Amino acid sequence: METTIENAKISSSKLGYEDHGVFTAMIFINGEGWGCGFGGYALDGWDEAEGRRIGTRFGIEFITEVLNTLGVGNWEDLPGTHVRVETEGIGGGIRRIGHIIKDRWFDPKMLADAFCPEEKK
């Protein structure tokens, strides 16, 4: 599938629990005539010994990579931030996000491959 790189702007973001109690993050991004969410990954996991969901290394790395890539210090500063996005085109999702000026990119699939190798099996 061919990808496209476009400039866009973050309209809003969410960091918290979704309906099933999974801790997640979502960034809502608007481009020229389109909008799409980026994220939705589980940033925690079930710990049988604890009997509850606990944060994961993937989760904290996801949050810090978003902030570092976009050059913001707080999650609350994301709305209004200009970004570059690599999309899968019309009807597809956002593969990765990048700093609007600097050549810094964040690809959550690469992060998941690095921190969640057991999921590849």
Looking at residue 120, its pLDDT comes to 43
Single-letter code of the amino acid located at 29 = I
The three-state secondary structure class of 92 is coil
CA distance 52 to 38: 26
Looking at residue 121, its pLDDT comes to 34
Average confidence (pLDDT) per 10 residues, the chain, 121 residues: 90 95 96 93 94 94 97 97 91 92 96 71 34
Looking at residue 115, its pLDDT comes to 81
The residue whose two tokens read 């890539």 is 69
For the chain, the C-alpha Rg in angstroms (whole number) is 15
Q: Could you tell me which residues are beta bridge partners of residue 30?
A: 9, 35
CA distance 17 to 24: 6
Would you say the C-alpha torsion 16, 106, 81, 74 has a positive or negative sign? Answer: positive
CA distance 15 to 77: 12
CA angle 29, 109, 84 (to 5 degrees): 35
Looking at residue 90, its pLDDT comes to 75
| pTM listed for this prediction | 0.90
